[in-house]
Amino acid sequence: MKLHTINTGLFKLDGGAMFGVVPKAIWQKTNPADANNLCTWAMRCLLVENENQLTLIDTGIGNKQNEKFFHHYYLHGDDSMEKSLNSLGFSLTDVTDVFLTHLHFDHVGGAVIREQDKLMPTFKNATYWSNERHWQWAVEPNAREKASFLKENILPIKESGQLKFIDEVENVAWQKDINISFAYGHTDAMMLPKIYYKGKTLVYMADLLPSVGHLPLPYVMAYDMFPLKTLTEKQVFLEEAVDKGYILYLEHDPGNECCTLQRTEKGIRVAETFNLSDL
């Protein structure tokens, strides 16, 4: 197995929304905001070479939306999905599997492209993976979360016939050396891959832990549908991660790809930060 970081660009989100009830005077120490109270975040995906499969975990925001949409999110940086794949010697058509942790636009937007007047899967030879419970949650969204579930990002995947569902069973085996856990606080039935790599367990954190700045338990996003559930899930996971020595792969942290954890007087905090390539 080989793992590769896939950077798809940076974007900005409101700092208050990203840190919920935590005051700006505290969170801005780790994630400084601009004059509009916006913080920069990564959209860091993961490519897994696993025997005869080339699996992409999440797809970033994509580029098919209109100028008005992108104006809200201030996309910047030199990275893109295709550029990152090409730098490793791969193309879009080489990807065999696309694993979607959940269907919010900054995780699934790159899964679909616009070809003239049609919306098509970006990865034409890939099977796309979600789970039935989250899929139904996304295609029939509540009013609060509706703006994050865009039909143009989701429906073309099913219409293509390339969509399959993973069984909603905790720690279910999916591929060789990859198991899947589920979290229900950020959105219903978000999936977190656990990858057994070089004698370690690496967990793709998606939005259970967007950045190292979110490690303290009360640092829960206002975007989360069920924040008290997130709080419980985060506490349970962090205890497990410390005890078992997990490596956390951070999708949204602008400066840190991976981290390990330690117990301190203030609770569970970062032990080390490093790049995936350092493993």
Write the pLDDT tens digit of every residue in 21-34: 999 999 999 999 99
pLDDT score of 117 more than 90: no
Residue for token digits 């905001």? 33
Give the mean pLDDT of the chain.
97
Instruction: Write out the residue range of the structural domain in which residue 248 sits.
Output: 2-278
Q: Is residue 119 within 8 Å of 64, Cβ to Cβ?
A: yes
**Alpha carbons 154 and 15: distance in angstroms, whole number:** 27
pLDDT for 1 equals: 97
201: helix, strand or coil:
strand
Does pTM surpass 0.75?
Answer: yes
Which residue is listed with tokens 């999936």? 191
Number of domains in the chain: 1
Q: Give the pLDDT score at 116.
A: 87
The CATH number of the domain holding residue 74 is 3.60.15.10
Helices 132-139 + 151-159 axis angle, to 10: 130
